[in-house]
């Protein structure tokens, strides 16, 4: 069998890692618009593209719960999810002692349930799940080891700096941006992540496949003293909390980084804010995303453009390639933070070079009101969450990929095309994306 894999991120790695065990004889061409691991840098498009994908520079948080990070378990079945989970953990901790890595501790039953009760008493839902934290620094090492393993296999052929722009149904071939055609292939696997939405939507339209894509999460990265969150993060590592506002909007926390750092994440034409945490480098601050879910109805269909246009506006106000930062006190008062105000702040930004400004000039009114309501509610459980000197960075957005209508195991109806990982719409994190790839590798030859 001859296979084309477009993208070499998390789900593609899971697919190739398992295929190496089950069908090492299959010929596989892997097309990647970015670079190999040693040449990637945490800036520009290299943050999103290259071997390892967008997860390369993440904090390496592995969620072991099928309820966190997607709906892959709903699609492949919970028994299959549990079956593939050990291999997923083996892959992402390659060469490390898993027991020595940071993890959530749900064994402390009474303390865990006391925390959950405190959130529930304040109309906030805490999702409990076990996590293993690899760390941004260790993750880079794992990805280099995985690349060395996979690239050395004689049947796996990597094509870096080769963006695929089109697909030919007649020839079952893929076409790069220069017009060169590769193929034919027995199977074409799209593992392009959420950043590959343009190619994904084009192929879906050419295939006549039904799909939905009308949701985006938009908000800020929030930063506060770690000493105020330690009581929770030392047990759970992170708190995944959701809340329904007075406007009936869903607000949630995402990607909690205890004693971590706020970072800039550059895309092709806009920059977003994100957070990292390292195993061997700690700050005195904890950061996490506060995201408001936006679901659109007809006739509007482009949730990606909605959020990206807001991000571009934020970048213009902050200055080229920069992120806006604002004190919570100023955010509530609808006034701009300035350099002089920031110098008086008790909380010193971990993201150096962020531009003081006013996020109220960018965020939709309803979104800003939801974020303020959430912070005030959170302060009832975590005293000090509404401290005037706590910081908001913007913009942070989480894009939901299209969710195609599959006929079997991630396959588009009537076409030899499979879609895995975040591009499938079924995963939103490292573990579930990887398991989608492993599951496909297990069944693709059947």
Per-residue pLDDT at 136 exceeds 90: no
Q: Cα separation of 22 and 155, whole Å?
A: 13
CA angle 241, 244, 245 (to 5 degrees): 120
The pTM assigned to this predicted structure is 0.83
Question: What three-state secondary structure class fits 217?
Answer: strand
pLDDT score, position 446: 56
CA distances from 364 to 75, 186, 292, 359, 360 (A): 34, 47, 11, 9, 8
Q: How confident is the model at residue 207 (pLDDT cuts 50, 70, 90)?
A: confident
Residues 192-202 have a mean pLDDT of 82
pLDDT digits (tens, 9 = 90+) for 83-95: 999 999 999 999 9
Q: What is the mean pLDDT of the chain?
A: 91
The Cα–Cα gap between 130 and 194 comes to 25
| Distance in angstroms (rounded) separating the CA atoms of residues 314 and 357 | 10
pLDDT(107) > 70 = no
Could you tell me how far CA 143 lies from the centroid of its own chain?
16
CA distance 168 to 415: 11
pLDDT of residue 122: 97
Residue 125, beta-bridge partner list: 242
Tell me how far apart the alpha carbons of residues 395 and 371 are, in angstroms, rounded to a whole number: 12
Nearest of 63, 68, 61, 105 to residue 241 by alpha carbon: 68
For residues 397 and 270, what is the distance between their CA atoms, to the nearest angstrom?
A: 11
The predicted structure's pLDDT at residue 108: 66
Average pLDDT over residues 320-341: 96
Structure confidence at residue 130 (pLDDT) = 84
Angle at 32 between CA 31 and CA 38, to 5 degrees: 130
To the nearest 10 degrees (0 to 180), the angle between helices 136-151 and 78-92 is: 90
Q: Tell me the DSSP string of 233-264.
A: HHHHSS-EEEEE-TTS-EEEEEEEETT-EEEE
Is the pLDDT at 393 greater than 70? The verdict is: yes
Q: What is the pLDDT of residues 44-57, one digit of tens each?
A: 677 789 999 988 87
Question: Domains along the chain?
Answer: 2-96+134-210+404-443 (3.50.50.60), 215-399 (no CATH)
Q: Look at residue 362 and tell me whether its pLDDT is greater than 80.
A: yes
């Amino acid at each position: 069998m001859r296979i084309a894999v477009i993208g070499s991120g998390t789900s593609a790695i899971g697919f190739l890692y398992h295929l190496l065990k089950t069908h090492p004889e299959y010929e596989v061409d892997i097309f990647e618009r970015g670079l190999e691991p040693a040449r990637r840098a945490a800036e520009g498009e290299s943050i999103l593209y290259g071997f390892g994908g967008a997860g390369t520079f993440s904090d390496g948080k592995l969620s072991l719960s099928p309820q966190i990070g997607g709906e892959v378990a709903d699609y492949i079945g919970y028994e299959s999810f549990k079956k593939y989970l050990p291999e997923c953990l083996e892959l992402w901790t390659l060469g490390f002692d898993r027991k020595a890595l940071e993890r959530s501790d749900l064994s402390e039953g009474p303390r865990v349930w006391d925390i959950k009760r405190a959130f529930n008493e304040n109309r906030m839902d805490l999702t409990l799940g076990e996590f293993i934290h690899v760390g941004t620094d260790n993750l880079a090492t794992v990805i280099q080891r995985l690349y060395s393993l996979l690239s050395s296999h004689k049947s796996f052929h990597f094509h870096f700096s080769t963006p695929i722009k089109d697909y030919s149904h007649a020839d079952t071939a893929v076409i790069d941006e220069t017009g060169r055609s590769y193929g034919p292939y027995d199977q074409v696997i799209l593992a392009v992540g959420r950043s590959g939405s343009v190619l994904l939507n084009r192929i879906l339209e050419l295939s006549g496949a039904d799909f939905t894509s009308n949701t985006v999460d938009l908000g800020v990265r929030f930063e506060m003293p770690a000493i105020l969150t330690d009581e929770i993060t030392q047990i759970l590592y992170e708190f995944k909390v959701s809340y329904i506002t007075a406007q009936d909007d869903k607000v949630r926390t995402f990607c909690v980084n205890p004693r971590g750092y706020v970072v800039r994440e550059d895309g092709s034409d806009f920059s977003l804010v994100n957070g990292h945490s390292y195993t061997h480098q700690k700050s005195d601050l904890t950061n996490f995303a506060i995201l408001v879910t936006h679901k659109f109805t007809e006739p509007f269909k482009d949730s990606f453009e909605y959020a990206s246009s807001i991000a571009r506006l934020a970048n213009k106000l902050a200055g080229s390639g920069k992120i806006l930062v604002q004190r919570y006190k100023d955010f509530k008062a609808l006034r701009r933070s300035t350099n002089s105000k920031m110098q008086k702040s008790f909380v010193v930004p971990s993201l150096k070079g962020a531009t003081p400004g006013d996020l109220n000039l960018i965020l939709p009114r309803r979104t800003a009101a939801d974020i303020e309501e959430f912070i005030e509610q959170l302060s009832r459980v975590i005293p000090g969450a509404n401290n005037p000197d706590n910081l908001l960075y913007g913009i942070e957005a989480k894009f939901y990929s299209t969710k195609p209508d599959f006929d079997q195991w991630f396959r588009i109806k009537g076409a030899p095309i499979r879609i895995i990982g975040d591009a499938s719409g079924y995963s939103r994190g490292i573990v579930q994306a990887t398991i989608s790839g492993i599951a496909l590798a297990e069944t693709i030859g059947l």
